[in-house]
Structures are given as structure tokens and as C-alpha cells.
Structure 1
Amino acid sequence: MAFHNHNNDASTATLSPTDSINSSGMFGSHHSQLLSSSISSLSSPTASARQSTSHISKTYRQSSQLFLTRRLPEALSTVLPLVTPPSGLGETAEASAENEPAPVAQASRTTRIKVWSLYLTILNAILELEPDEGKDSFGTHEYRGICNKVRDGDIWEEVVRNGYHGIEGNVDSDVVINLATLLLAHARTQTLNQKRLETYLAVSQQPELDLAQRLEATQSSGPSKHRRSASKSKATSGADTPRDLNARVKILELYTLHVLLRNNEWDYAREFITVSSVLDEERRDAFLQALQSLQEDQQEQERNEQEERDRQDEKLRKDLEEAKRLRSENETRERKRLEEERARREGSEVDYGIEKTPSAANGSSKGRRTREASSAMSKPKAAKGKPAGPPSLSARASMILSNLRVVLEQIGSQFKTNPMLLVRFMAFIISIIVMFGNQRIRERISRVLGSGWTKLKSTAGMGVKVSYI
């Protein structure tokens, strides 16, 4: 507007009202065109800024609605143009960010925080998907790229480069909180998260809430200086407001009670809380109590885990001892069984020897008695010198029976001394019975016997004929 007033004064100084009235119509129309062009040129930045803000707000609402309906691919593709710098032909994202930041960088602080928070929330929802679902929704390559960008911590550098001209300290505190929370949930390690938070806490402006000093500074400085300092404080992330103080306390909470503890730096967290100038006594005591409680919980958890490991080891040791005991009992039982079988087998062999001796003795004595009887019978005959008559039928029958009894006794003694012989004999008998039990074999034997009997009869008939001749 100052530039616009300056043009009006110059026009008045150059041209008087009389000259403008007496001038030609062509000159009057040319003067009106100059005024309209100057007014449009002055109002164009404001109009473009309003149009850009309206476009960002509209896009943010569309992406939010898509996110609420769980249409994550559409929500991400809708919000990406706001957080990605417009790249020229053949330019990389880093080069584009150096030349011109993302459109969200030109928005107001509230809109900027909303857009970045929505973008980080969408990324968090994507990483919480199942791997198969994420690959189906975004494609394997894009899904892996999103996951690696968050898990490796590259998302922090992307936000600083695209939205804040690469200046770490200019990042809004709410965006820092969302970034730290995202990395705390999904990063592979918390080392990068710790370094980023330490860098931000070191380079960002400390919130100053001493109202008396601010009032004195305002009264001592002129209005122009006050406006310049106000605009400068707005450009940085650490504005002197209670909201910024609460945000910084939240960042300290994430840093000391979460990130440092994940990196197992308990002593450093306690020291940082103790010397922090942002925390008052009440908050410092609350932080220290929370840290002590978390440490006790951690120690209790470690103790429970150690007890569980000891219990598992004890159970494993008992199982091994029980397995050894059962194996020893089985081996003892098996050894005892083998010894009993060996003793039983040796006892059976001794019994066979005892039974064999009387049988052999009986057989030998009976044979001796038979020989003595035959010699006694032959001696009188030899003494008399007379030929003996043929034995009677009863004597022959008794002799046959005695011989048969001797044979049976010998067979029995053989069976006792060699049981396998009996088994073979029984197997032979059974095979004969089975063989004759087969009808085909019986028929074949009948045919063979029939043919043999026919040949025998023919031979006998021929012999009879020859004898007649």
C-alpha cells in the first residue's frame, strides 16, 4: 500500500486537475490503464497468497477425509503435493528444495503444523499395516521405500529440507513432537532420534516467559523495532508463549523419558532433567519421579525376565535329569532281562545234558542186556552143538516189539538232545499233510500211481504169457 500511495502522489505532482481535464481522450484513457495496472500489480501478491492458502486448506481437508475413511493411498497422494517441492525438469528433490520449498512452507503456522502432522500420521498408519496389505495397497517398491524412509530416519531430513529451508531450528515444535514420536515407534534404533532432538534443542530459540523484561524491551524500543522483533520471533520456532513452553516440555519429556531410556542412558537423562532451565521445580520433580518409576519398572522387568530364564533353565535341567534317569532305568531293565534270558538259556542247556546222560545210559544198558541175552542164548546152543529150531511166532513178535521200542527210545533221546530235529520232523509231516491236502497234487499223484500201476499190470501180463509159452 505504501508503494500504491507513492504512485498516486507522483501522478498528482505531474498532472494538475486542469491539465487532465483539457487533455485529449486518448491521454486520459492511457492514464486510467496505468492506474489499473499498478493497482492490479500491487494486489496480485495478496491475491495469490490467499489463493495458495485456500488451495492448501482445501487439499488438507480432502486428504483428512480420505485418511478417516482408511483410503491411505489416496490420502498420501493428495497430501504429497503440499509437502513436496515443485521439481523442475531433471532436478532431484534436494535440488528442488534448495531452489523452492514445498507449498506448505508458505502457509501460516497453524496450517503448516496441520499439514505436516497429517502427513506424518498417514506415514504412521502405513507402517502399521501388515506387510502383505501394504504391498497390495502401494506396491512393493513404494511400500518398502516409505518404510525405509521412516525406519532409517530420513523423514526428519525431508521435513526440514522441504518445509523449513533446511534450517533445523525453524521447525515447529509440534512437528518435532510428531517426528520424534514417529521415529520412537518405528525407527530401527533411537540413535538418530536422539541426535536430531539434541540438535533441535541446541539450535532452537529458548522460550522466554519473563513478561516484565518483555514489557521493558517493548517500551524502550520504538514501534518499528517492535514490529521487526515480532516478525523475527515468528520466523523462529521458539516463540515466547506458554504454548511453546508446553511444547518444549513435551519435547524434553520425549527426549529424557523415552529416547534416552531406549538407548539405556539413565544417568544422562537424570542429569539432563536436573540441569534443564526450561523445567520449573514442580515439573523437574515430576520428571525425576517418573524417571525413577520407569527405572524401577525396568529393573523389575529385568528381574522377572532373569527369574523366568532361571526357571526355564531349572526346568530344562530337571527334564535332562529325568531323561537320564529313565534311560538308566531302561538300560538296567534291559540288562537284567538279557541276564535272565542268558541264565534261562544256560539252565536249559544244563537240563538237556542231564536228560541226555540217563537216556544214553539206559540205551547202552539196554543194548548191553540185549547183547548179553543173545550171547547167553547162543552159548548153550554152541555148547550143545545142535542147530536151534526156528523161533516161534510169539518170540518173533516180542523181538519186533523190543526192537521197535529201542528205536523209539533212541528217537526220543535224539529229540531231547536236538530239539531242532523234532521241529524239522514236524515241519516235514505238516508239509506232507499240506501237500496231500491240495487237490491238484492229489490228482497228479493219482495219475502217476495209476500210470505206474497200469505199466506194472502190463508187465506182469507179458510175464504170464511168456511163462505159458
Structure 2
Amino acid sequence: MASNGSIATTLTPTRDTLSSSQLLSSSVSSLSNSASSRNSSSQITKIYRQSSTLFLTRRLPESLSTILPVITPPSEGTNEPAPIAKASRTTRIKVWSLYLTILNAVVELDSDDGKQAFGSQEWRGLVNKVRDGEVWEEVVKNGYGGVEGDVDSDVVINLATLLLAHARTQKLNQERLEAYLATSSSPNLDIADRLQKDPRRRAMSPSKRNGTDTPRDLNARVKILELYTLHVLLRNNEWDYAREFISMSEVLDEERREAFLQALQSLQDEQNEAEARGREEQRYQEEQLEREIEEARRKRAENEERERRRHEEEASRVPSKRRSSATDYGVEPVRPSSDSNKTRSTKSGSSRGSAVSSPQARAALPKSTSTSQTFIKRAANVVANLQKVLGNMAGSFKTNPMLLLRFLAFMIGMLIVLSRKDVKAQVRKMWDKVKATAGMGVKVSYI
């Protein structure tokens, strides 16, 4: 019985035995988890170094493809996080900072270089991811389980800087920073208070901590406030809100608050000076444009006045020529008075009657007849000379056929030249002048 009892006592597990076995199993599981996490962290560190080396050699596509498996979940259908979510805080910050640096270099590429390196569609997708602010959501979702306040402050600084440099608008950057500042806790620098808290906080996942309990995190928070108040809000033209936010911030001490306010005032003064210079430059350009327009108007008026004077001189020159022609032929200039016209008509009528009846007029008739005969002889001589020239040309054509070809080429060239509109207009203008001159000669001869 004693032996049975001792065997039963030995085989039956007591509460102490169960507790020790449970502690042993939990220790083994924690050790295995820590070993696997160390292996995963070392693997991520190795991938980070490879991607960093590729980036330094400007091999951006290879660097990006190397780092993507670390920051991307294994499969879309499951809720399993990306490998970077299980890494240490230092490794996580390094990986995300490298990823954002690669994206910054990709966006800064020229269009041709980016399409050649990544392809047109992929390059445009990466650029739009940055300019539309989608990269912030990617970091929060894949690296921090979708919790905005769990993002490391250094990663937030890099994200805000990236969007500040390349985003189409700073509205999204402002909203993301406000969400982060609202969800993350204020810094706690009391070391004794932190040690009195639950010691399990030390083993808490880094992704579940706000990262604002150390002086380093406080400096990072101040840097975030600087980006938010002195850059993002000013891009959105919210100067008053930035000044109010700086004055109401609990993170900033009096010295830093005063420095922020002075920097804000200096930036506002610079903007006002730049706007004043812009308005002055615009006013100067408008005045310059007005002066140029006025100068163009003055030159056009001068040209018009010059043309008007030239037309007046030409118009005044034509009657003087007519008067001089009439004077050369012994014709008195016509006077505008009606009495003088009547007197002149009476005198001309009497002179015609006297000329017809006088013997001097009868003696002048054979002289006009001889003049007409002389004109006929001259016309006959011209026709004879023309026939002679044509005969000589015909003989020349027979003896030298190339002369005929040259003549034809000359005639064809003349036809081509005369077919042009400007030449036609010039010839027509010359012909009109000849007709006007001939008409004036006929009128003078008639007079």
C-alpha cells in the first residue's frame, strides 16, 4: 500500500509541477520566438544593406525591388503583416527611411530616364504614389497595422519632408500630420514614473509604442512641429493658425516657442517683401508695356502723317505739271471766276473767226498737212525697220537653231515672270501710269 501510495503520489502531478511545466513551455516558446525574431531581423538587415548598396550605385530599380519584399505583406488575402512590422525599431526606421529616399530619387528623375529605368507605367505609378500622398497610407498600413499614432517619429519626419517636396498640394500632408499629432501621446520624461509602470511595457512590441518618452523622441516631436507649423501650414497660407498652434503647444518650452514665433514672423516678413517685389515687378512690366504701346501708336501716327503728306505732295504736283504743260503749248491757265471764263470764251470765239478769215490762218493749213504727212512717213519707216529686224531674226534662226531655243526660253521665262501676282500688279501699275501720261498728252495736244 505504501508503495502504491508512493507510486500514486509520484505519478499524480501536483499544482507546483504544473506551474513549473507551464513556465518551462512558455520560456521555450519565448526563446523560439526571440530566436525567430532575431533571425528575421538579421535577414531584414542583410536585405537593407544590399538595397542601400544598390541605391548608392544609382541602380534604383534593383534597389527598390530588393527592399519591396520586406515592406510588403506576404499575401493580399491574409491579415499577416509585412516582415518589417516585426523588426526592431532601429531596423524599422532604417528600412522605411531607405524606401522613402529611393522614392524621392525616383520622382526626381527626368521623364525619359524614369521611363527607361522602370518602364512608363511603373514609373508613373511611383510618381503618383508620392505626389498624391498614397505612400503615407502604405507606410501606416504595412508597417504599423494601420495605427497612425504608432508610426515612428523619424519615419513621420521623412514622410512629411517627402510630401513637402513633391506633393501636388499640402492639404493631405497637413491632415496626416494633424492625425499623427492627435493620436500620439505627449512625451513623458519622468524616468521614475516609467520604471514604476508595468514591466511588461519593456517587452511590448515597438509598433505599439508612441516613441515620445525619451529626449531623442522629444527632439523628433519638435522637428515634426517645426515641419507642421513653419512649412506645411505656411504652404496652405494659414499663418494665424500656425501662430496660435505654436502659442498653445505643450511640447514647446518658452525658449523654443519664442524661437518658433520669431522664425514665423521672419518668414511672414519675407513673404510680404516678396509679394511687394512681385507687385512692383508687375507694375513695372505693365508700365513698360504701356510705354511700348504708346511708342507704337506714336510711330504709327507719324507714318500715317508722312503718308498723308506724301499723297498731298503728289496730288499738288500733278496740277503743277498740267499747268506747266499747258504753258509750254501756249495755253493760258484756267481761272475759276465765271466772268473770266465768259471773257475767254468770247475772245477765243472772236480769235477763231478772225483766224479762219485771216490770210495767216489760210497759210497755216498746208503746214499742218505737211506735218501729218511727215508722221505717216515715220510710221512707214518704223514698219519697214520692224520687217527688216524680223527678217534678220528669221535668217539667224535658220543658221543658228540654238538662238531660237534661247529666244523661246526667254519668252517662257517672261511668261513665268509675268504670271506672278506681284509682277502683274507692278505691270498693271506701270500701264496705268503710261495710259494716264498718254491721256494727258492727248488732252494737251487737243488743247
TM-score (norm 2): 0.72
Q: Match for residue 50 of structure 1?
A: 38
Check 1:204–1:354 CA distance in 2 against 1; reply closer, same or farther (3 A cut): same
Check 1:278–1:231 CA distance in 2 against 1; reply closer, same or farther (3 A cut): farther
* Counterpart pick for 2:328 among 355, 362, 375: 355
Q: Can you list the C-alpha shifts for 1:307-329, whole angstroms capped at 9, x where unaligned?
A: 11111111110000000000000
Equivalent AA in structure 2 for residue 175 of structure 1: V
Q: Can you list the C-alpha shifts for 1:129-178, whole angstroms capped at 9, x where unaligned?
A: 00111011101111111111111111111100000000000000000000
* Counterpart pick for 2:224 among 232, 238, 251: 251
CA contact (8 A) 2:356 2:362 kept: no
User: C-alpha distance in 1, partners of 2:312/2:261?
Assistant: 75
User: C-alpha distance in 2, partners of 1:358/1:86?
Assistant: 117
* Counterpart pick for 1:146 among 126, 133, 137: 126
User: C-alpha distance in 2, partners of 1:108/1:283?
Assistant: 31
User: C-alpha distance in 2, partners of 1:337/1:162?
Assistant: 85
User: C-alpha distance in 2, partners of 1:161/1:328?
Assistant: 72
1:121 is the counterpart of 2:101 = yes
* Percent identity for Structure 1 against Structure 2: 56
User: C-alpha distance in 1, partners of 2:60/2:387?
Assistant: 85
User: C-alpha distance in 1, partners of 2:94/2:237?
Assistant: 33
Q: Match for residue 59 of structure 1?
A: 47
CA contact (8 A) 1:233 1:239 kept: no
Q: Match for residue 177 of structure 1?
A: 157
Secondary structure at 1:283 match in 2: helix
Equivalent AA in structure 2 for residue 267 of structure 1: D
Q: Match for residue 228 of structure 1?
A: 200
Check 1:308–1:435 CA distance in 2 against 1; reply closer, same or farther (3 A cut): farther
User: C-alpha distance in 1, partners of 2:388/2:246?
Assistant: 105
User: C-alpha distance in 2, partners of 1:430/1:330?
Assistant: 50
Q: Match for residue 273 of structure 2?
A: 300
Check 1:403–1:346 CA distance in 2 against 1; reply closer, same or farther (3 A cut): closer
The runs of 5 or more residues in structure 2 that have no matched partner are 1-8, 14-24, 333-347, 398-447
Q: Match for residue 308 of structure 2?
A: 335
User: C-alpha distance in 2, partners of 1:314/1:329?
Assistant: 22
Q: Match for residue 18 of structure 2?
A: none
Cα offset for 1:232?
Answer: 5.2
CA RMSD after TM alignment:
3.5
Equivalent AA in structure 1 for residue 227 of structure 2: L
* Counterpart pick for 1:215 among 192, 197, 217: 192
Cα offset for 1:123?
Answer: 0.2
CA contact (8 A) 1:436 1:442 kept: no
Secondary structure at 1:439 match in 2: helix
Q: Match for residue 73 of structure 1?
A: 61
User: C-alpha distance in 2, partners of 1:206/1:15?
Assistant: 54
The runs of 5 or more residues in structure 1 that have no matched partner are 1-11, 17-36, 376-398, 412-424, 445-469
Secondary structure at 2:33 match in 1: helix
TM-score (norm 1): 0.68
User: C-alpha distance in 1, partners of 2:358/2:138?
Assistant: 123
Secondary structure at 2:198 match in 1: helix
User: C-alpha distance in 2, partners of 1:197/1:342?
Assistant: 83
Cα offset for 1:226?
Answer: 3.4
CA contact (8 A) 1:73 1:137 kept: yes
Q: Match for residue 448 of structure 1?
A: none
User: C-alpha distance in 2, partners of 1:279/1:291?
Assistant: 15
Q: Match for residue 386 of structure 1?
A: none
Aligned length: 357
Cα offset for 1:351?
Answer: 2.4
User: C-alpha distance in 2, partners of 1:184/1:372?
Assistant: 114
Check 1:374–1:323 CA distance in 2 against 1; reply closer, same or farther (3 A cut): closer
Equivalent AA in structure 2 for residue 73 of structure 1: P
Q: Match for residue 338 of structure 2?
A: none
CA contact (8 A) 1:82 1:103 kept: yes
* Greater Cα radius of gyration, structure 1 or 2: 1
User: C-alpha distance in 2, partners of 1:285/1:279?
Assistant: 9
CA contact (8 A) 1:435 1:441 kept: no
User: C-alpha distance in 2, partners of 1:113/1:347?
Assistant: 100
User: C-alpha distance in 2, partners of 1:115/1:63?
Assistant: 9
> What does 1:186-335 align with in structure 2 at a 5 Å threshold?
186-209=166-189, 211=190, 214-215=191-192, 218=195, 221=196, 225-231=197-203, 234=206, 235-335=208-308
Cα offset for 1:205?
Answer: 1.3
Check 1:141–1:278 CA distance in 2 against 1; reply closer, same or farther (3 A cut): same
Equivalent AA in structure 2 for residue 198 of structure 1: E
Cα offset for 1:353?
Answer: 3.0
Cα offset for 1:14?
Answer: 4.5
Q: Can you list the C-alpha shifts for 1:70-89, whole angstroms capped at 9, x where unaligned?
A: 0000000000001101115x
Equivalent AA in structure 2 for residue 189 of structure 1: T
Check 1:148–1:371 CA distance in 2 against 1; reply closer, same or farther (3 A cut): closer
Cα offset for 1:255?
Answer: 0.1
CA contact (8 A) 1:63 1:75 kept: yes
Equivalent AA in structure 2 for residue 226 of structure 1: D
User: C-alpha distance in 2, partners of 1:180/1:157?
Assistant: 12
Secondary structure at 1:240 match in 2: coil
Secondary structure at 2:213 match in 1: coil
Check 1:39–1:201 CA distance in 2 against 1; reply closer, same or farther (3 A cut): closer
Check 1:443–1:253 CA distance in 2 against 1; reply closer, same or farther (3 A cut): closer
Cα offset for 1:367?
Answer: 10
Cα offset for 1:61?
Answer: 0.1
CA contact (8 A) 2:212 2:221 kept: no
CA contact (8 A) 2:153 2:217 kept: yes
Secondary structure at 1:188 match in 2: coil
